[in-house]
Structure 1
Amino acid sequence: MNQTVTRALDLLSALQDGAQTLDECAERLGVHKSTILRLLQTLEAQRFVTHDAQHRYRLGSRLFELAGAALAQRDVRDVARPHLERLNEETGQTVHLAAYESGDVVYIDKLEARTGIRMYSRVGLRAPLHSTAVAKVLLADLPAAARREIAEGIDYVPFTDRTIRNATDFLAELERVRADGFARDSAEHETFINCIAAPIRDGSGAAVAAASVSVPTLSLPAHEVLALLPQLMTATRGASADLGWAPRSVNDREERL
């Protein structure tokens, strides 16, 4: 690679650790100050770096624009797929990926169970909002006013005797999901299926998708499905990291909302 380009990239990488003076940059790269200054001036002209009144250089706004464009071009299905494939291989169970689109939660990817038992769900099918774990995860991430509006507009069809039947109980369930960081469907949509789901977040911290593991009771009892949560969380956190998610603190989601 061209030496000037290499040095410019090394300089940008050095600045990701925080603002630095010209002397600090030169020492960090082991290059003469005059060379570093020319690089900094060129990068600043293109808004890749900027400097303050104390002549400390930091990353510029152009990099944020490029980072945003790069993340926007990464389809969540493509990013999540290797993580979901690993989850499917580790658990042997059905894995779903779902997204919230125009008031509906829609399955956008599915990996079939490695056992002989298959679920009727398919890509493009809508998931009932009040009885599926993926829907709970995605709705729980919305602002309080939006959660309430959606909850009050749901037709609470009782799929099983465990299905949530009213807005008050559903809103309480969403609060539990927000506190726990994952959701459960304990035979609420189908009597013979238990499910756990967790969010996949993008660089802004928003839940752009939900991944789930669905297991027939013939394969595992409910408490053993819950034992799969660590594998699920590893997959969703890995996909989130690939989408640019880096939580600032344990209260990151609450601060954002």
Structure 2
Amino acid sequence: MSSDNLVKSLDRALQIFEVLGSRRGGYGVTEISKEIGLNKTSVYRMLSTFVRHGYVEQDAETEKYKLGYKILELSSALLEFIDLRTEAKPILKELENLTNEVIHLVVYDRGEVVYIEKLEGNETLRMHSKVGTRAPMHCTGVGKVIMAYLPSSEVSKIMDRQALEKYTVHTIVDKEALHDHLAEIRRNGFAYDLEENEIGISCIAAPIFDHTGKIVAAVSISGPTMRMTTERLGELQGHITDISKRISVRLGYQE
């Protein structure tokens, strides 16, 4: 944006917010004046206005200024209105264009994953997945990566409530082995599905977190096993983890 279009006083005001947000203990008028290159009188007037509206608070003992709770109210309102699918869609589209493979976005619901977005890619691939359908946790990349970051009590409930059905010869159906596998996924930050749900289909998945740090979704790249070689999956690791982190950031997550 051209500097000609900026409202200078508003630009300065926003700089003050950025300064106040950089230190827990707060800042004095003189410090802020030096930080943004504005005279103390103007800084004081702006701060007084912010205090009046609740966006800034002044410590009665130190007389230093810090961000007020009104800022938190606005942040909370923004986070409440964030829609996962809307925020993720353009980022998922980038991943589809980059890989030409099928891209899935799923959420966790009552012990299963639910597909809420599917991008088909440019390569021909027939899969059972459709938007709105459910899938088991223990044999899908997206399901396993979500399980890996759920509380252990929730994971135990999933395993106890639903039998670990053997979908293919590669499906993990032993509880102890699955627990060990989930621990490995947490260490790696991503999960594989190596023909565990459908013969001939392999994928790599990564977790998505919300502003509270809670696991809320997962994203995956799927393709035929003949194309999803060990080398290919290794190449996709960086892409899938980068995409999952970018979506998490859009949801307010701070690592």
| TM-score in same-fold range (> 0.5) | yes
SS in 2 for 1:20: coil
* Structure 1 stretch displaced more, 2-11 or 95-104: 2-11
1:136 positional shift: 1.0
Q: Is the 8 A contact 1:83 1:236 kept in 2?
A: no
**CA, structure 1 residues 46+123, in 2 after alignment: closer, same or farther (shift >3 Å)?**
same
The answer to whether residue 87 in structure 2 is matched with residue 79 in structure 1 is yes
Q: Which residue of 1 aligns with 2:183?
A: 175
Distance 1:41 1:104 in 2: 52
Distance 1:145 1:121 in 2: 28
Q: Which residue of 1 aligns with 2:139?
A: 131
Q: Which residue of 1 aligns with 2:57?
A: 50
Q: Is the 8 A contact 1:152 1:167 kept in 2?
A: no
Counting only pairs closer than 5 Å after superposition, residues 111-150 of structure 1 correspond to structure 2 as: 111-150=119-158
Instruction: Give the CA RMSD over aligned residues.
Output: 1.8
Distance 1:97 1:109 in 2: 5
**What is the TM-score normalised by the length of structure 1?**
0.89
Distance 1:3 1:231 in 2: 40
Q: Which residue of 1 aligns with 2:78?
A: 70
Q: Is the 8 A contact 1:185 1:196 kept in 2?
A: yes
Distance 1:179 1:2 in 2: 48
What is the identity percentage for the equivalent residue pairs of Structure 1 and Structure 2?
A: 34
The answer to whether residue 222 in structure 2 is matched with residue 217 in structure 1 is no
Q: Is the 8 A contact 2:203 2:228 kept in 1?
A: no
Runs of 5+ unmatched residues, structure 2: 1-5
Q: Is the 8 A contact 1:105 1:128 kept in 2?
A: yes
1:4 positional shift: 4.4
1:106 positional shift: 0.3
1:131 positional shift: 0.3
Q: Which residue of 2 aligns with 1:159?
A: 167
1:237 positional shift: 1.4
The answer to whether residue 41 in structure 2 is matched with residue 40 in structure 1 is no
SS in 1 for 2:42: helix
Q: Which residue of 1 aligns with 2:114?
A: 106
SS in 1 for 2:66: strand
Q: Is the 8 A contact 2:19 2:32 kept in 1?
A: yes
